Amino acid sequence: MTILISNGRVIDPATGTDAVQDVLIQEGAIARVGRELARRAEGAEVIEATGKIVAPGLIDIHVHLREPGYEYKETIESGTRAAAAGGFTTVCCMANTDPVNDTRAVTDYILAKARAVGVIRVYPIGAVTRGLAGKELAEHAELAEAGCVAFSDDGRPVMNAELLRRAMEYTLPFGLPVISHAEDANLTRGASMNEGVVSVELGLTGAPAAAEEAMVARDILLAELTGAHLHVAHISTAGAVRLVRDAKARGVRVTAEVTPHHLLLTEEAVRGYDTNAKMNPPLRTQADCEALIEALSDGTIDCVATDHAPHALSEKEGEYDRAAFGVVGLETALVLLHDRLVRTGRIDLSTLIARMSHAPARLLNLPGGTLAPGSPADVTIVDPEREVTIDPRSFLSRSRNTPFTGLRARGAAALTLVGGRIVWRAA
């Protein structure tokens, strides 16, 4: 099967490409990128991409697919379809399923299910501690052998520093990072939003920025002590960015990701007790947003990750303080970041693509992230002029919990290819 993506603006940060070219795909891999490849592609299926952006398939290293155990929120099938519609070709799923992904059997199940019904690539992330209980190490060697690409208790911090130290040491031989949900749980007891004047006005318990920053600082010190690769999940404060920047300058093996909602929204979104503005870490301040955007642009923050966290309506309607934490993100990330950061000139297009493809691929050593010949033919075609209005009723995800309902944005995915197969095409 041969496919020719014709005459698009090919942006491949890994090879420094940004030019109008053709992309030739053979046997599920990128065969060639160059001008006027049509004559080499006799009988090929031609995908006309004039005026569109042809990018490496997007990679999201932080999603909750909810299967096994919470299939009413999301399944591997629905989650990967949602991802494909958002332009993603690879996702990494967190371990807080039921049962928790802390044993090989669960990893095997996720991978088998993804092969059977998933439409994109799925890589599981194993638990740091058994049952995410923060008491004893999960079986990391076997999880790594089964195919886990990182370790994380995401959703919960590992409060015991000694245990996290041992996890960092024990996992060193596997070359897989430990991903930290950086939150000092004592400082966030009862919290449901950022601590500040808005939380005071709303009468809600706030989580101070220091709760995140104290933990980022601790984890950086432990990475320094052990030589492990620490990856900071969903970084959300200017202070945490400063800590990561300093650590990188000292040569510590630390990387970080940021979510679209932390880049684009502030604590003001909680007013009116909107449960779709409730997530952990919470939405912060405008100054934090500015620091995050700057850090994403300059590379202090390595990549974008959505922290796609589907919840059923019954878990999100009702009292704010009792609602579940988290928002969906797979179907809105690309178009919103393109519209709000690229079209406004805050970040350039090739940088955004790098932070959503090449950087996360390198970070977790995943295939893809580039259009270099020989790479898997994971490709996202973006229509920079395609305008959408965010409408949760149209989501392919099983859940609807987005804080972006009603926003208009330009630059949505038009077509998604995984291994040379079209897995999604805009209507």
Q: Which of 237, 239, 282 is nearest to 261 (CA)?
A: 282
197 touching other proteins, by CB under 8 A: yes
* Cα–Cα distance measured from residue 12 to residue 53, given in angstroms and rounded to the nearest whole number: 10
Total residues contacting other proteins (rule CB under 8 A)? 19
Residue indicated by tokens 């999940």: 233
72 touching other proteins, by CB under 8 A: no
201 touching other proteins, by CB under 8 A: yes
Note if 12 is an active site residue. Answer: no
CB nearer to other proteins: pick between 27 and 201 = 201
Question: What are the strands of the beta sheet with 178-180, ordered from one edge?
Answer: 151-152, 178-180, 230-232, 254-258, 303-304
DSSP 8-class letter at 120? S
* List 22, 219, 302, 307, catalytic entry: 307
286 touching other proteins, by CB under 8 A: no
Query: Which residues have C-beta within 8 Å of that of residue 278, sequence separation ≥ 6?
Result: 192, 193, 270, 320, 323, 324, 325, 326
Q: What is the DSSP string of 255-272?
A: EEEE-HHHHH--GGGGTT
Closest approach, Cβ 315 to other proteins, in A, equals: 11
| 266, 290 Cβ separation under 8 angstroms | no
CB nearer to other proteins: pick between 196 and 299 = 196
272 touching other proteins, by CB under 8 A: yes
Of 202-210, 302-310, 334-342, 419-427, which part binds other proteins (CB under 8 A)? 202-210
Residues 128-147 that bind other proteins (CB under 8 A): none
CB nearer to other proteins: pick between 80 and 285 = 285
CA atoms within 13 A of residue 410's CA, in its CB half-sphere: 6
- Structure-block tokens of residue 205: 């318990």
CA atoms within 13 A of residue 258's CA, in its CB half-sphere: 31
From residue 311 to residue 350, the character string flagging contacts with other proteins as x (rule: CB under 8 A) and all else as - is ------xxxxxx----------------------------
406 touching other proteins, by CB under 8 A: no
202 touching other proteins, by CB under 8 A: yes
Please give the residue ranges that form the binding site for other proteins (CB under 8 A): 195-197, 200-206, 208, 272-273, 317-322
